[in-house]
A and B are shown apart, each in its own frame.
Chain A
Amino acid sequence: MCDAVIDGFALFLFSLAVHVIVWRVRRPESFRAWVPALAVIFGVVPAAIAWFVAPTPLDFAALLLLHGSLAVVYGIGYTLVSAFSPSVELLKLLDRAPDGVPMAALQLPFVAGGLTTERIENLAASGFVRQTGPRLDLCPRGMWLTRLVLIYRHAIGLPDSGGG
Chain B
Amino acid sequence: MRSGCPIVAEAELSPLASLLVVLAASPILVFIAHAIVYRALDRTGAKPTAHSSAMLALIAGFIPVGLATWRLGFFDLGQGAAAALCALVYVMAVYGALGILYLDVVNIAETSLHMHLLLELAWGGAVPLADLLDRYSADRMIAARLERLTSLGQLRVVDGRCYVANRSTLYLAGAIDAWRTVLGLPTSPPGVPAEPSALDRGRQR
Residues of A within 8 A of B (CB): 1-2, 4-5, 8-9, 19-20, 23-24, 27, 58, 61-62, 65-66, 69-70, 72-73, 76-77, 80-82, 84, 86-92, 94-96, 98-104, 106-113, 115-117, 119-120, 122-123, 128-129, 131-132, 134-138, 142-143, 145-147, 149-150, 152-153, 155-158, 160-164
Contact = CB atoms under 8 A, between A and B. Distances in A.
B98 to A, nearest CB: 5
A152 B129 CA distance: 27
A157 B185 contact: no
Contact of B183 (A24, A66, A94, A108): A24
B204 interface: no
A123 B173 contact: no
Nearest to A98: B198
Given A95-B197, A106-B146, A119 B86 contact: no
A112 B42 CA distance: 33
B189 A146 contact: no
A92 B90 CA distance: 34
Interface string B79-114: 000110011011001100110110011001111011
Nearest to A71: B97
A149 to B, nearest CB: 5
Nearest to B152: A87
28 contacts: A2-B83, A27-B183, A61-B17, A61-B20, A65-B23, A66-B94, A69-B98, A70-B93, A86-B142, A89-B192, A90-B146, A92-B170, A94-B155, A95-B198, A96-B198, A98-B198, A100-B163, A106-B146, A108-B192, A116-B113, A123-B117, A135-B126, A136-B126, A137-B126, A145-B115, A147-B122, A152-B105, A157-B42
Contact of A116 (B50, B117, B148, B199): B117
Given A81-B185, A138-B122, A150-B119, A73 B104 contact: yes
Interface of B: 14, 16-17, 20, 23-24, 31, 34-35, 38-39, 42, 50, 53, 74, 82-83, 86-87, 89-90, 93-94, 97-98, 100-101, 104-105, 108-111, 113-119, 121-123, 125-130, 132-133, 136, 138, 140-142, 144-146, 148-149, 154-155, 157-158, 160-164, 169-170, 173, 176, 179-180, 182-185, 188-192, 195, 197-199
Contact of B128 (A104, A120, A135): A135
A65 B133 contact: no
B135 to A, nearest CB: 9
A131 B127 CA distance: 10
B149 A90 contact: yes
Given A87-B149, A89-B189, A94 B163 contact: yes
Q: Would you call the interface of chain B mostly helix, strand, loop, or mixed?
A: helix
Contacts of A76: 101, 104
B179 A81 contact: yes
B145 A90 contact: yes
B134 to A, nearest CB: 10
Given A107-B138, A115-B113, A145 B100 contact: no
B130 A134 contact: yes
Contact of B173 (A69, A82, A88, A138): A88
A101 B189 contact: no
Nearest to A56: B16
B158 to A, nearest CB: 7
